Chain A
Amino acid sequence: MASPGASAIRDKLRKQRRTLQETFVKLKHEGDDEQALVPSSGLSEESQHSTMNETQSSEDDPGETLKRTLRAQRQMRRKKLLEKLSAQNSPVEDIEEIPSVPLHSEDEGTGKISKVPSLTSLASKAPKSRASQQSDRFVTRRLEEKLKAARSQGESLRLQEASVVAAGRRRDRPKVTRSDREVDSDADSSQFLPQAASTRVKFRGPTEPVERNRVTADEAYNFFTINFEVQPEEKTSKKSRKSSKERKREEAQVQEEEDEERSQDPSQDHDEDEPLVQDEDGNVFVLEQTSKDFLEVKSAEYIGLRAFAVRHRPLIFTPSSRTVPTSAKLPENMTPRYLEDEGLYVGERLTVSPSNENILENRILRMEEGAKWFGDDGRIISLPDPIKESSSRPPLFHMEDDLDPALQTFYMKPLQSKHTNLSICAADAVLGDYQLDVDVSGLIFSHHPLFSREHVLASRLAQLYDQYLNRQRNNLTEHLTDKLNGLRNTMRNMLEIHSEQNLSQALQQRIVEYSMEVKNTRELRDGEQEKDRTLLKSLVKVWKELKALREHQRFINTPYKLFLRRETVDRESDEREYEKDILSEVWELEAEAEVDYQTKLSEYKKQLDEWKAWRKKQKSKKKKRKKKAQDETEEDDQEASEPEGPPDEGPSKPDTPEKLELDTIVKQVREKAARIRRKPGEAILIPELTASGNVSEGELCPRGEVARRHEVARRFIFVKILYNDKEVSQTNSFPLNPDFRVHFGQIFNLRIVNCPRSITLQVFEDLGSLYTMLAEVYVPVPPSSVLAGNSSIEEFEFSSNQREMFDHEGVGSGVPLSFTGDASDNVILLTSGKLSCCVSWGVGEDNVPLAPPLSQHPGAHHGGQYDAVSPLAPSGNVKKIGEWAMQSRLDPNDPVNASVMQMLKVASSGQVSAPDFFRLEQLQEEFNFASDEELARSRRFRLLALRSQEVPEFRNYKYVPSREREVSEKVFQGYEKRLKEGEMIDTKEHLDFHRALVAKYLQKIREAVIHRFLLASHHFLLSDMVIEEEMPCFGGARLRRVPDRHLRDSTEFLEMRSPKLLKMTGRAEMLKILGLNLFHLAEPKRPLRPQRKERKKVTAQNLSDGDIKLLVNILRAYDIPVRRSQGGKAGPSPQGAIQGSDWLVNHVQVRPFVEVSFQRNVFQTTTADGPNPCWNEELQLPFRAPNDDYSVASLQSVKDEVFINIFDEVVREMGARENGESPQTRVEKHWLGSVKIPFSTIYSQSRIEGTFKVKTPAVLLGYSKERSQPNAGVYESVHSLCQGAFITLFITIEPLLQPGESIREKIKELKFDSQEDERLLQAAERFERAAAEGFPGRPCATTAVDLNGKTVFITRYIRPLNPPPEIMSDQPQEDAIQVARFVSLIPSLPDKVSFSGICDLWSTCDQFLMLLAGDEEEHAVLLCNYFLFLGKKAWLIIGTAVPEGLSAYVLTLEQGRYLIWNPSSGQYYGQYDTFCPLQAVGCLVNADNVWLNIQEHVSPMRISFDVSRGVGWRPFFNRFFTHPGLSSVQPEELVYRGSDKTAAVELQERMEKLLRDKVMEWRPQRPTRWNRYCSSALKHFLPSLEQCAVALGSGAHDLAEGHRHELENLLGDNRISGFPLHMAFSEMGPIVEAVHSTGVHTIQTSNVEFALAVYVHPYPNNVLSVWVYLASLVRS
């Protein structure tokens, strides 16, 4: 839409450009300053171009040109819009557009007046804004208006122009740049004033972008006239320098202009322009855009580096580092002021390098308001250097060096109280955990030594006010007044209804009663009223005193203020009331007085009559006497005394009662009323005590007061809590507030074990370093119904009679104090106060009150007050209370019921309470991927969680299913059952309650220990991880061998060569270490006497079922019982076996074989002949670990035992009699005896080797225990003590498992705490280490771990203790055996099993007797203690024995002979007994000392037990380290419970039934017949067997023989084979297992019958001895 106008413009433009170029060239030549200003920039060219055009275009009519341009622009704008719409860009139009803008600039130039740019900018703004047509129209209209004005102006300007043609070219610029100077003078540019100012700012700060949104006309103009990139400031400065002459000229011209313009109406211009200026927004962009368009035509220009730098200089500000003159930094005409010189402290400034400081100053100066950063001294304001010269941290001293040794702290072991032990022993009473919450909330002093006088008064005031409030609350006066009025009313009514004449007797009586009541009530009321009145009075009085005091001392110390609120009353009604009251009272009093008078009068009359009568009598007497006196004078003396008495005794003449006058009554009543009652019409005074007053500041107070306050501030208060007179806790120290209140707000939860007897709170005052106890407050033990939720805080008053005096304002305590000068009202005030606290029983997590039952604590029955509500509350059954309240119609206003009502109210409101907690892991919820419920529901997750917790059932659970549904509930059954069983006590398994409890307790301990172990097992030592050759110690002769893979390989190889287990000799060991295996080649391949060698140890990690085998090597046996008779003929004589020696030679005595059963796998050897057989056979028994868990802990807790049973193989011929043909033979086996070895022993020792005593039954039917070779006289003496069979065994595990090294080392590592002295512990450790180094293989124990996991010195366990009195007899020797037997009857339970080999816990004897389970140590300790009690010399032997390994035995000295007692079997051996199971003696222990065996040998046979001699035994305590007097951990006395016969009988029956069932169960194929006759006979024997056993082993034998004969006689032709089993009772399982192992049930004969009898003999303290008699009868 190229209009003709546009083309015209184009033409014109072209022409103009030409001229411009010409002028440009010309100007260049001229070397005008603009050249320098605008170097080779396109834009500047343009602007120059435009400026230069001024001259040319000035000739044209500016108005017309403008008009034209505007039109063209409008068109162009429209077009642009259209273009935008059509999105089509024709290049032609583009070209057309371009020139249109320069036209503007030209026009601007031609316009020359400052208004024009604004016009153009306005016009040019439109396209940019792309407003609607409407706005366009608006703009055009405005423009046209403007145009008119401009035209008129333009004409006038033209006139001026003529004169200033030459200067006109540059005129605009100065206007812009120096408009600030023109402000005052240039009226023409006045319209630009604000803009000019802003532009200046903008142009000066070149970094600041031009605010285009608010472009003023000036800016718009400048945009075209000046180059933006040129720093205007510099320009101005340069220009100002360069063209100062010109400027002067200009100024003159401008002046002229201004003068001319002033003639015109400037305001008009102004008006017109104002809106214009405001209208234009953001129009610069258009211009910019267009100018860019312009630039597109130009070719790119090279900018030189220097030029570039120059160009960028305005953008980059480089502050100079030169010193800024002070004058520049200060406001004008200010001299710097140096505070330092004025003597003020300034502080040291931070050291900053001067150049940096200068740079900063320069920079700041550039800034707006830069001056504010500078101080008066012309320097930058800065804080003083914060770094202190000396360090403020207190210097560290080495405490140990400098401290006075007396002041050094040393560690004290906590003392263990007796009660902790008691609580364990009192396991019968099921212990709960009880919790007592002691809430110490605060403390208020009612008097304190530091009270000032004012405080004394104030506290008095407060107390009075409290009293007042209390009275007010109860409001007795009101109550009584009401009652009185009511009574009066009823009485009046009564009198009115029944007019006085016809009053019945009863009614009269009632009236009398009523009046009495009225009287009483009135008196009561009067009393109360009087009290009220006096209270009020004293309140006011004290307040007045307080005020006076404050006035006097001129400061205020307490915030109390008493207000008396006046409640005005209706005077008339009040008076009426008052009068009425008085009247009625007067009336009543009158009536009473009347009645009184009447009664008195009647009494008087009576008395008077009496008196008169008496007088008469007296008179007559006198007369008589006179007569008499005259008659007989002798009697006179006697008589005379008589009459003198009666007149005294006789009634005196009564006074006539006075009738009370009405006036006096009225007077009295009024007087009283005036005294005690408020005057009528007088306002009711209601005192109000507030603590709102201000306390005077310290400065206002005199010195004494200040000192007092300081003193107060120094005091701290804390409260100690004593439970049963033992301090349990204490509160923090809180400062004493100025108002003598202390707020603690601390709650102490006391976990209690003992019965609560007293709870005491001790209030302490802390004066810096020393503290004094102010008072003790005894708090009653709350009844068990008082729980944490429902208890209320109570106040307990306390006081102390401490005397304290001060020299300051504090009044002290216990010191007379007077408020008046003359000490008339002396009072002695003692420190007192109220402690508010609350003691209640805690509530458990599930709302279970943690309070003991009522019966348990004696303190519960104190006091009569029992809260009726509290027992209901813990049940939480508020609803029920509500119902009950409804039913019983509780008076809600009754204060007694307040608590109930309160609770009901709370309950009905729904108990909305804000959470009084804060969250620790607040984003945890967001991170949970499933809710807790979901996780809890998920069985799979539960399984995984339990496994990772290492719960025993799941520790080795494999293949947790991947899906939820595949996890069956059954998985958890066992676990849940166990959990449940933990709570319930299974009596079936344990037969009696006590044992069940004990088992539970033991289980608890075990769990605790296992938990500890699990913790320890995650604690690794280097040796657990790395096998490392220990550095050979070249100095020492010993080389220790450490398992090594390489060596192991070679030994493996050796093992392969010689399958027999070889023992490596010390020499071979040495050689191997040297890595020279040459000698092995020289070794014989099959040595004649092969020795067992060590094998490699396998860590039980990659083992599975069947990998482990138990190797049992049965070598030989001695003294096996022999068969008594062949063919089972009845009644051979007891001597038969011995006599028929030739018979013995001919016949087979016994054909024994050995059967080894382990985990119900049975293996047997071949049969050998004779009583001293030699098998030399190896049996391999498979081993299966429980739960397939081959970890060390699991293996250690295997409870299975290896039974080694010796049987006699009896071949019976069957049916030979009947057929006569080939006689059938049947093999029977008869049990002869057994040896039991627990697997745990084998495991822990890795091999067991030795000769063991076979446990043979006391009676073996059909066998004789007579020694077959009586002529072996050499051994006779030796064997005298140990009769019975022996078997030599070697047992080991293949492969050799890494025995769970005792965790003891680890536990030591973990530092089990101990009550022992540190020195002692160290000494013990040294001793043990020395023992281990000097005498390896000799066990040495100096410390033991008790049940609490604490290390205890071993001698503490030894103390004489009383055995149960029942088993004591007269003979000391028998006593010893009895006692040993009793001890052996306590079931043995190796600690290894119970605590999975974790540690050896030593329980004390009372614990042992209570638990009824323990290992050898416990047995030994108990036995030793019994022996000591019996007056024997006894020691504990710590040594090794077979098969137990490390064990404890007891040594006694009897008649110069040492006896060794096996505590777990009750057997004793002489020192030189070959078969004594004790193999090595490590050390001896008694109550005083521990002796280490330092003799050459360890075998008891070869050592001397005499510890008194210095040689051979190294004592622990010696001259250098004396016994510190260790007290015993054992109780002083053991208390036994009597034997329980009924329980024993019950157990006996149950056991019999169980065994019967078991035997039948084991014989599923064949019927099991029971011979009842035999059974009863057997049953008969058993008690006597027990007696025999008790009596004495050897003597019992004959008795048993007798029984056997009896039995054989009874059961004639039956072949009986049977035996009684005897064992200590612990559980059913072992008994069943023992019976099973004898194999009685395996007999295959069809006509077999069984007999079973069980006898349980009870011993004190639930120790039971069990006898099982089992026999099989075969009818022959």
Chain B
Amino acid sequence: MATSNPSVFLLSVNGQIEGANFPCYDDLYCKYCFVYGQDWMPTTGLEEGITQITCKGRQSQKLIWNFPLDITFKSTNPSGWPQLVLSVYGPDVFGNDVVRGYGAIHIPLTPGKHKRTLPMFVPEPTWRLQKFTRLVDSWLWGRRPEYTDPKVVAQGEGREVTRVCSQGFVTVIFNIIMKDMKKLGYDSGPSTSSNAQPCGTASGWSTEEQTNL
């Protein structure tokens, strides 16, 4: 199988959506999906998923999901590199399910372990009245504006018509393994000794170490 002349490269993503930090909200759940280009195809794993609802502990202010991600892509072209799109929902005061944040991030380009923190945002209502009476509004109608498709946060087109406000953060851990990237002529940094690499918290450090060695 392992041909010397591969026609595709593989990108295996493991990891987990660790948790989130939404100071004002509780009982949130998270939906994730991957957005990728036309030359990409998931070979195995779940493309979409939904986490359990989690609530904050007494001590911790963090929401922990620890929701595993496991997906492998194959591709012929680095263009359209997969992105992880997260959207967090939770109930408002009246139990209506509203969106609490959207966020997207590219899957890290280098092998190894990466910890990423995604800033989240939500679209703002355009109605001025609604803005002022947000509380009343939410009481009355219990909903916020949402994106037609969460995947729009992974693309740039059309975003100029929206305005958003920032919400909180979601932490994701990626473990990346790649195959045959080099053979196809793509060099995504130090990939050879990814196993020997110490499990650094920040990938930036590890790469620097590598280059220095």
Contacts and interface: CB of A to CB of B under 8 A. Distances in A.
Contacts of A1467: none
Interface stretch (B16-24, B54-62, B137-145, B196-204): B137-145
Nearest to B153: A1025
Contact of B147 (A961, A1018, A1027): A1027
B146 A1045 contact: yes
A1101 B149 contact: yes
A1020 B161 contact: yes
Given A960-B76, A962-B7, A1075-B96, A1027 B146 contact: yes
A958 B39 contact: yes
A1099 interface: yes
Nearest to B180: A962
B38 A957 contact: yes
Given A1028-B125, A1031-B129, A1046-B143, A959 B161 contact: no
Interface string B1-33: 000010111000000000000000000000000
A1026 interface: yes
A959 B126 contact: no
A947 interface: yes
Contacts of A947: 38
B53 to A, nearest CB: 15
Contacts of A959: 38-39, 41, 75-76
Interface string B68-103: 000000011101000000000000000011100000
Contacts, number: 92
B44 interface: no
Interface in A1024-1055: 1024-1032, 1044-1046, 1049
Contacts of B38: 947, 956-960
A966 interface: yes
A162 interface: no
Interface in B145-164: 145-149, 151-152, 157-162
A1075 B123 contact: no
B147 A1025 contact: yes
Contact of A963 (B7, B39, B142, B161): B7
A1030 B125 CA distance: 10
Given A960-B76, A1020-B157, A1026-B123, A1099 B7 contact: no
B59 to A, nearest CB: 32
Contacts of A1078: none
Contacts of A1030: 127
B46 interface: no
A834 B9 CA distance: 74
A300 interface: no
A1122 to B, nearest CB: 53
Contacts of B126: 1022, 1026, 1028
A785 to B, nearest CB: 51
A1025 B161 contact: yes
Interface residues of B, number: 37
Nearest to A1298: B148
A1026 B152 CA distance: 10
A962 B76 contact: yes
A947 B79 CA distance: 12
B156 to A, nearest CB: 11
Chain B CB within 10 Å — which of A947, A1018, A1031 has the most? A1031
Given A958-B39, A959-B39, A1028-B125, A1099 B158 contact: no
A966 B7 contact: yes
B130 interface: yes
A282 to B, nearest CB: 46
Nearest to B141: A1029
B139 to A, nearest CB: 10
A1407 to B, nearest CB: 35
What interface size band does chain A fall in? 20 to 34
A1018 B158 CA distance: 7
Nearest to B184: A962
B162 A1026 contact: yes
Interface in B102-131: 123, 125-127, 129-130
A914 interface: no
A344 interface: no
A1025 B130 CA distance: 18
Nearest to B48: A1102
A732 B161 CA distance: 43
B148 A1024 contact: yes
Interface string A1325-1367: 0000000000000000000000000000000000000000000
B158 A1025 contact: yes
Contacts of B149: 1099, 1101
B162 A1075 contact: no
A253 B129 CA distance: 105
B143 A1044 contact: yes
A1021 B161 contact: yes
B39 A1018 contact: no
B158 A1101 contact: no
A759 B146 CA distance: 62
Interface string B171-200: 000000000000010000000000000000
Contacts of B162: 1022, 1025-1026
B142 to A, nearest CB: 6
A957 B147 CA distance: 27
B152 A1025 contact: yes
A806 to B, nearest CB: 63
A405 to B, nearest CB: 38
A961 B39 CA distance: 8
Interface string A1365-1401: 0000000000000000000000000000000000000
Contacts of B157: 1018, 1020
Contacts of B161: 1020-1022, 1024-1025
B148 A1026 contact: yes
A490 B9 CA distance: 98
Nearest to B159: A1025
Given A1031-B129, A1046-B96, A1026 B141 contact: no
B85 to A, nearest CB: 12
A419 B8 CA distance: 57
B147 A962 contact: no
A1020 B158 contact: yes
Interface string A944-966: 10010000000011111111001
Given A1022-B161, A1075-B96, A961 B145 contact: no
Given A1024-B161, A1026-B148, A1027-B145, 4 more contacts: A960-B39, A962-B77, A1022-B162, A1029-B141
27 contacts: A944-B77, A959-B38, A959-B75, A960-B39, A960-B76, A960-B77, A961-B76, A962-B77, A962-B184, A963-B5, A966-B7, A1020-B157, A1022-B126, A1022-B162, A1025-B148, A1025-B158, A1026-B123, A1026-B126, A1026-B145, A1026-B162, A1027-B147, A1027-B148, A1028-B145, A1029-B141, A1046-B97, A1046-B143, A1101-B151
Interface of B: 5, 7-9, 38-39, 41, 75-77, 79, 96-98, 123, 125-127, 129-130, 141-143, 145-149, 151-152, 157-162, 184
The 4 A-B pairs at the shortest CB distance, nearest first, are namely: A1020-B158, A962-B76, A1028-B145, A1031-B127
